Amino acid sequence: MEKTTTSSKPLSRSEINKIIAVATGVKEAKIKEIFKYLNTLLLNELVSRSVCILPENLGKLRITIRNARIQKDMKTGEMKHIPPKPLVRYSPSKTIKETAAKVRWKYAD
C-alpha cells in the first residue's frame, strides 16, 4: 500500500479513486462505478435492516431513534415538544479504535 503524504487537507474523492486505480490497475471510471454501487448497497441495507456492516473491517452503521423530549425555547421561555428523530450512528471497529489511539494530536503535550 502506498504511503500518502501528510497534509492539512484530507484526500478528495478523486484522489482516493486515483490511488486505488494505480494500486489495483483498474480504470478510474470503474473504481468510481464500484463506489457508487457500494454506496447504493449500503444505503439499501441501512434502510431495510437499520444496521449495515461496512466492508474491510471499517465498522458498523446503525439507525437509532432519538426519543421525543420537551425543551425550553431560550427566546420565548415556552416549553416546546421535540418529536423523535432518526439518527445514523457509526461504531468503529477495534482496529480503527486501536489505530486512532496511536495518533499524535497536534495539541497534545
For residue 26, give the CATH number of its domain: 4.10.520.10
The answer to whether residue 38 sits within a structural domain is yes
Domain hosting 38: range is: 13-101
The answer to whether residue 6 sits within a structural domain is no
Q: What is the pTM of this model?
A: 0.70
The answer to whether residue 54 sits within a structural domain is yes
The answer to whether residue 43 sits within a structural domain is yes
CA angle 13, 5, 21 (to 5 degrees): 40
pLDDT at 35: 93
The answer to whether residue 4 sits within a structural domain is no
Contact 21, 28 (CB under 8 A): yes
Per-residue pLDDT of the chain (109 residues; tens, 9 = 90+): 555 556 678 999 999 999 999 999 999 999 999 999 999 999 999 999 999 999 888 999 999 999 999 999 999 999 999 999 999 999 999 999 998 888 877 666 5
Q: What does the alpha-carbon distance between residue 42 and residue 58 come to, in Å, rounded to a whole number?
A: 13
